Structure 1
């Protein structure tokens, strides 16, 4: 992999990661509700799911998974159901004054729970498997050892993705200042819920290959 190829990968990933999607919306909403510091656990969960799938692609498991009859469809419908569940949950959330970092909310959402939530959103996105199986190998030079190249691409992706997590989390912290009124917070939750449902319905159109 040449330096030029790597820079091309950086540019592509920068644009792809920055595009609003389920992970970024999840980080934004967690930052709004819990603050920047506590949303780090959700970021770690999202990033762990991504790295796991990309590492599986490096081992050839993503391509094998896509070749299994019905496996992709099972994941796709699971992802759709989970995103729609999150959307309905956000839509129906109780309107209350926003109290970022409140003890009650902190007790209800431990770092482990935040990590699991982020990981579940990340790992249930079938687009990530398609990206790992079809897009990532395009930047690999077959004449050179594959493992170091995959390691560099996965590390690069993780760094760029983490940058955008920070951007969205900071945006959530700034947005939280304007959500002190229950009516405004209710509107934010319902818009967030609709977007999650929209992401879920959009996944119904995702097809392998």
Structure 2
């Protein structure tokens, strides 16, 4: 794999990862509600889901999903249901919780680190198209003239570094928002907007196809 090809991968992943999606939205809202420090557990959960998807694509699960539309549909509808549940949870909890606290004041935990990790993991795993995305993207940057495994390892490490950087950026932005959300009306609007976005992500999964 040449340096030019690697840099093209870096730019491509940087732009794709930075696009708002369920993972980034989840990390940001965890930072708003529970603080930047505790949002690290949400980052870890989302990243675990990404690594599982990358490993699955390398193991040929992407090809299996393409060959088995019914299996893909099962995963797709399950993921959409989970995202819809997150939307309902955010909408019903609008205006409640710690989102409006001053960012310089320690936030009462309110939820276990395991729950933060688990919820983020399920959020990340809710999108089976990530496996198809990885299966389609990575081979484009792997040279047939060199060993496949070392190149794949480099691309995965690069992807993880860029994805983590965006998690941190979204979490930092979320923590800054917490001061602005000290107003109850703003907090309710933010929570309901978050719920609506999760519903939209779920609707996007329903409309998704393997092709």
Shared fold, TM over 0.5: yes
What does residue 143 of structure 2 align with?
141
Q: Following TM superposition, by how much is the alpha carbon of 1:143 offset from its aligned partner in structure 2, in angstroms?
A: 2.6
Post-superposition CA distance 1:35-89 (Å, at most 9, x none): 1000000000001110111122222233224323411111110111111110111
Partner of 2:116: 114
**Cα distance between partner residues in 2 of 1:136 and 1:94:** 40
2:138 and 2:71 map into 1 onto residues whose CA distance is 20
Q: 1:14 to 1:137 in 2, by over 3 A?
A: same
Q: Where does the alignment leave 5 or more consecutive residues of structure 2 unmatched?
A: none
SS at match of 1:95: coil
Alignment partners' CA distance in 2, 1:37 and 1:76: 32
Q: Does 1:37 align with 2:37?
A: yes
Q: Which residue of 1 is the match for residue 80 of structure 2?
A: 80
Shift of 1:10: 0.5
> How far does the alpha carbon of each residue in 1:91-135 deviate from its partner, in whole angstroms, 9 at most, with x for none?
1105246237543xx24x211111111111111112211211212
Map 1:1-209 → 2, pairs under 5 A: 1-96=1-96, 98-99=100-101, 101-103=106-108, 106-107=109-110, 109-209=111-211
Q: Which runs of 5+ in 1 are unaligned?
A: none
Query: Is the Cα–Cα contact under 8 Å of residues 50 and 122 in structure 1 kept in the other structure?
Result: yes
Task: Classify the secondary structure of the residue corresponding to 1:141.
Answer: coil
Instruction: Calculate the aligned-residue CA RMSD, in Å.
Output: 1.5
Q: TM (normalized to structure 1)?
A: 0.93
* Equivalences, count: 206
